[in-house]
Structure 1
Amino acid sequence: MRDVNPRKARRAVSAETDLKQPSGMAKTPRRVRRPKEVRERVLAAALHAFATVGFEGASTRAIANDAQVTQSLLLYHFKTKDELWRAVLQDIASMEKMEQLLASGDDTMTAAQRLMVAIRALVELFAKVPELHRLMTLEAHQPSERLNWIIENVNRAPYEAMCDLIAEAQAEGAVRKISPERLRFAIVGMAAVPFSVSAEYQFLTKRNPFSKIEIEATIDMICGMIFIQQ
């Protein structure tokens, strides 16, 4: 009896199966890779992790699990945790683009009107990404290389643009005469805190800070506190 090569036998069976398969039978669909969708899920999971447990407490394995991807796939897109952390901040910066917003105002708008637009944009940003203020609170309480990176690559340009705009609105007589730098931090705090501590806010006030009514009320409150009523 002739010996049969198992590998050749498997190929023969496979070929026979292919020949017998009806031409109209649907083929098993190939898995479609969606790198953009994977990247967005990973960035969202990473933002949540970094804002909740900090850079040191976050792990790429836990982030991958939260994003429902393998750790190897996460590391394919982001080689290190540090690279992932920077990508999260850059993604947020692309949403904000505050310096572009402040520079793109209509020539007919006063500085005060442009400042109102900027305040609305800030409140809406923090309502959309409440983790941003939590992350910054964890990073900004002491000097570090990561804080230096945030300042130089994310914060400095919009910070300077807003301070300049506040000073310009003060020169128009529309904004209270307080240090522009202090006012900028006050505006950011008022715009961010209701959303970054949303559970406490809702428990004590019985109102949802993310509702349209509350967002508009937050904008009105900030404007009422910094603008001089005519």
Structure 2
Amino acid sequence: MIKEADLNDLFGQMIHKMADLPPKQQRILAASLNLFAEKGFDKTTTEDIANAAQVAQGTVYRRFKTKDDLLAAVLTPILKDVFPQAISQFTGQAFETKYTNLHDFLTAIVTDRIHFIYENRQVLKIVWSQALTNSEMLVILRDRIGQAISEIVFPQIKKMQKQNLIIGWPADKILTFLAGTMFTFLTKLIIMPGHQIDLDSESDFMIRFLEEGLAANGDNHLV
């Protein structure tokens, strides 16, 4: 499994590079992300954020007038910069491998992504819950993330189709099938937060499910 920085790490690295963001404001954003992930947006107060960032409450409001403004300041760069970076980091390594069969391809992708989703489930929960009620964030999530994934995944899918290793569907349909399965796993984590989950069993089941659906079996093009 590919080792990569988690979303919190990538976010911290990104805000540290923002020249127009003073150190106190950097700490405020970092603390906000951690608290929103841990306690949820509604249960996090500006006092909590100020205490975690070791600043006065007035310092929080100096740049961010409301808690909603603070949430947007956290989520917008995650959607625009952190997610694409995480995707590029993963796919840049994952697709360097030459796969000789569909099972190995799915095992590499699914196993890694399940662990990534599980380890970053709190941040992903915030992003998805806000995207459901904020059309602008949903558009960013769809366009920026979708484009970043498709640019790297589509060539791999087409290469495997030429080798007759994967079903001859349009690449976007295959990607939707893969992404939908991963999203189902994330949804399970969100709606059953205390449920005990065996990641190896989840991976095995999802690999078998996807392999059944995506295996090349002669004339299996969509009409």
TM-score (normalised: structure 2): 0.58
Determine the C-alpha separation between the residues in 2 that align with 1:198 and 1:107: 35
How far, CA to CA, are the matches of 1:141 and 1:36 in structure 2?
A: 27
Q: Which residue of 2 aligns with 1:64?
A: 49
Other-structure match for 1:8: none
RMSD (Å) for aligned C-alpha atoms: 4.0
The answer on 1:45 being equivalent to 2:61 is no
Alpha-carbon distance in 1 for matches of 2:101, 2:140: 30
Distance 1:162 1:139, change over 3 A: farther
Which one of the candidate residues 187, 192, 196 is aligned to 1:198?
192
Give the equivalent residue in structure 1 for 2:137: 146
Tell me if structure 2 keeps the 8 A contact 1:134–1:196.
yes
* Count of matched residue positions in the alignment of Structure 1 and Structure 2: 182
For residues 177 and 201 of structure 2, the distance between their equivalents in structure 1, rounded to whole angstroms, comes to 19
Tell which has more relative contact order, 1 or 2 (C-alpha 8 A, sep 6+).
2
Q: Computing the radius of gyration over CA atoms, which structure comes out larger, 1 or 2?
A: 1
The answer to which of 143-152 and 218-227 deviates more is 143-152
In 2, Cα distance between the equivalents of 1:98 and 1:78? 29
Identity fraction in percent = 11
Equivalence for 1:83: 73
Q: Post-superposition shift, 1:128?
A: 0.7
In the alignment, the residues of structure 1 paired with residue 118 and residue 139 of structure 2 have an alpha-carbon distance, to the nearest angstrom, of: 25
- 8 Å CA contact 2:121, 2:186 repeated in 1: yes
Deviation at 1:137, TM superposition (A): 3.8
Cα distance, 1:160 vs structure 2:
4.6
Q: What is the DSSP-based 3-state SS (H/G/I as helix, E as strand, rest coil) of the residue aligned with 1:227?
A: helix
Structure 1 unpaired stretches of 5+:
1-32, 203-207
1:227 partnered with 2:211: yes
After superposition, the Cα gap between the structure-2 partners of 1:87 and 1:176, relative to the gap in structure 1 and judged at 3 Å, is same
* Equivalent residue runs for 1:111-130 within 5 Å: 112=102, 113-130=104-121
The one-letter code matched in structure 1 to 2:186 is A
Cα distance, 1:191 vs structure 2: 3.5
Which of 183-192 and 72-81 deviates more?
Answer: 72-81
Letter in 2 for 1:83: A
Deviations 1:138-183 (A, max 9, x none): 3444672222233344443025534554454454444456631431
Aligned to 2:177: 183
- Equivalent runs, 1:2-13 vs 2, <5 Å: none
Aligned residue number for residue 199 of structure 2: 215
Describe the superposition over 1:185-225 as per-residue Cα deviations: whole angstroms up to 9, x where unpaired: 3232243233222336x2xxxxx12xxxx111111111111
Given that 1:169 and 1:175 are in contact with CA atoms closer than 8 Å, whether structure 2 keeps it comes out as yes
Counterpart-to-counterpart distance in 1, 2:132 and 2:32: 26
Q: Structure 2 vs 1, CA of residues 185 and 196 (structure 1 numbering), >3 Å: closer, same or farther?
A: same
2:25 and 2:128 map into 1 onto residues whose CA distance is 31
With the length of structure 1 as denominator, give the TM-score of the two structures.
0.57
The separation in 2 between residues aligned to 1:143 and 1:78, in whole angstroms, is: 19
For residues 142 and 154 of structure 1, the distance between their equivalents in structure 2, rounded to whole angstroms, comes to: 18
1:97 maps to 2:97: no
Structure 1 residue 227: deviation in Å?
Answer: 1.5
Gap regions ≥5 residues in structure 2: 1-22, 217-223
